[in-house]
Amino acid sequence: MLPRVRSAQLYEEAQQHIVGGVNSPSRSFKAVGGGAPVFMQRAEGAHFWDVDGNKYIDYLAAFGPIITGHAHPHVTEAIVRAAQNGVLYGTATELEIVLARKLKEAIPSLDKVRFVNSGTEAVMTTIRVARAATKRTKIIKFAGCYHGHSDLVLVAAGSGPSTLGIPDSAGIPISIASEVITVPFNDTDRLKLALERWGDDVAAVLVEPIVGNFGMVMPKPGFLEDVCRLARGAGALVIYDEVITAFRFHYGTTQTFAAFPDRAAIEPDLTALGKIIGGGLPIGAYGGRREVMAQVAPLGPAYQAGTMAGNPASVAAGIACLDVLAAPGVYEKMDAQAAHLAAGLAESASRRGVPLTINRIVGAFSTHFCDHPVTNYEEAQDTDGEQFARFFREMLERGIYLAPSKYEAWFLTTAHTDADIDATLEAADASFKAMAGA
Ligand code: PMP
């Protein structure tokens, strides 16, 4: 057992002051058997060091944003320079234009953008804008997709809520939840039925175009095309939540992802962004078609504001992060390493007799302890959570840090080395062996 005495002490202390001892439920170890989470002290490249001095290879990447690895020199330098110039002005700055322009260049569906502070805010505001633009109230979302913790989207949300067995949060009025219609991902017929029934009231269909919140799940060929066609046929807008997916698989979003089967037909009206575009500092952004974005104050009647929005440090970190990602070969390397890792995990699990389904898209993949494909939330739920918890613990003991939930992905970063991947495969084989022998 790795010594984690200090983590245990800090957890005791944290619980006295911070609710549940963590500042986001997905950081707790509740879904993987409970107990003290690991308190990290330092991170560099693809590695973490905890408060007891243990070293880990990191596949959490802070739930996505840390795609360049921790403390990347270019990103760090940008943050330091921003801090030296004063971290917050409450005025317009030139750097905001630089990041906005970079986003627009990479995401052609954005005529205009607005920066906010989190993915939650970004999605929340796209919904407000869609409602303002259509003068309708209802939203269609897909079961298990997570869109942040605002009232409207915390209905049949995946990720944290499903991990903790809270399909719906307390504190959300029925009147609000009743404005949300949930249909299964990858199910065109059910979407069609929902639009036939409620179409005249639907402001937007909101989707993670590639799901990252009940594992990594690709849309079936034609599904996003159907989403766009059916939504528009009903007079509703299409919102893509690309908080996880933007700049994850290539320098852009799913909207221009070459591997996509139906890419020509999948441009949304509004896009929500976050995570990677802030290089690890708090950020969110949303944007879309000019006429739709003209709803937003000060141009239009839909209000959205923020003291911290577009803050110089986040914007500078985001620009630096995108610079790193724009270099040639970056995604190819993550793709090759993730392919090697996923293939090795599959081989090892199979040799040890542990059923495992892996969904991989470039440098991100999910491991589902089951012997069936995972294409929607129901199938992701129908996997062995106890096996995952055991695997998580075995890997942790061997210095591999995975997200503490069976629904979260493994993320490669530009900092992972081939030696990291080999060490991970060795740890995984020993973990599967221990599980098979149990
Ligand atoms: N949308 C998606 C697809 C996400 O995965 C998340 C966070 N995991 C969010 C929105 C919310 O982002 P944030 O945690 O920055 O509020």
**163 and 145 in a common domain:** yes
- CA-closest candidate to residue 163, choices 241, 121, 215: 215
User: Residue 283 Cα, ligand 1 centroid: separation in angstroms?
Assistant: 11
**263 and 359 in a common domain:** no
Decide which of 325, 360, 387 is a domain's last residue.
Answer: 325
Mutate to test the pocket of ligand 1, among 23, 243, 245, 408 (most ligand atoms within 8 A of CB): 243
Mutate to test the pocket of ligand 1, among 244, 254, 277, 405 (most ligand atoms within 8 A of CB): 244
Q: What is the pLDDT of residues 113-146, one digit of tens each?
A: 999 999 999 999 999 999 999 999 999 999 999 9
**219 and 94 in a common domain:** yes
**349 and 313 in a common domain:** no
pLDDT greater at residue 266 or residue 55: 55
**364 and 269 in a common domain:** no
Number of domains in the chain: 2
Report the 10 Å Cβ neighbour count for 101: 12
Report the 10 Å Cβ neighbour count for 47: 18
Cα–Cα distance, 130 to 382 (Å, whole number): 34
Decide which of 270, 298, 325 is a domain's last residue.
Answer: 325
Cα–Cα distance, 411 to 64 (Å, whole number): 7
User: Residue 307 Cα, ligand 1 centroid: separation in angstroms?
Assistant: 20
Which residue's alpha carbon is nearest to atom 12 within ligand 1? 119
Catalytic residue of the set 241, 269, 335, 429: 241
**428 and 357 in a common domain:** yes
CB 380 within 8 A of CB 214: yes
Q: Is 63 in the pocket of ligand 1 (CB under 6 A)?
A: yes
**153 and 78 in a common domain:** yes
**261 and 163 in a common domain:** yes
**172 and 321 in a common domain:** yes
What is the model's pLDDT at position 265?
59
| Confidence label for 260 from pLDDT (cuts 50, 70 and 90) | confident
**84 and 54 in a common domain:** no
In this prediction, residues 251-256 reach a mean pLDDT of 94
Which atom of ligand 1 is closest in space to residue 145's alpha carbon?
3
What is the model's pLDDT at position 161?
58
In this prediction, residues 66-72 reach a mean pLDDT of 98
275 annotated active-site: yes
89 annotated active-site: no
Q: Is 288 left (phi over 0), alpha (psi -120 to 50) or beta?
A: left
Q: Residue 343 sits in which domain range?
A: 5-71+328-437
**250 and 337 in a common domain:** no
Decide which of 325, 342, 375 is a domain's last residue.
Answer: 325
* CATH value at residue 132: 3.40.640.10
Q: What percent of the chain has pLDDT over 70?
A: 96
pLDDT higher than 50, residue 167: no
Q: Is 336 exposed, middle or buried (0-12, 13-18, 19+ CB in 10 A)?
A: middle
Integer angstrom CA distances of residue 424 from 30, 168, 254, 427, 433? 24, 35, 28, 5, 14
**264 and 193 in a common domain:** yes
What is the model's pLDDT at position 262?
64
Q: Is 319 helix (H, G, I), strand (E, B) or coil?
A: helix
Task: Enter the pTM of the model.
Answer: 0.97
pLDDT higher than 80, residue 157: no
Q: Would you say how long the chain is, in residues?
A: 438
* CATH value at residue 348: 3.90.1150.10
Which residue's alpha carbon is nearest to atom 7 within ligand 1? 148
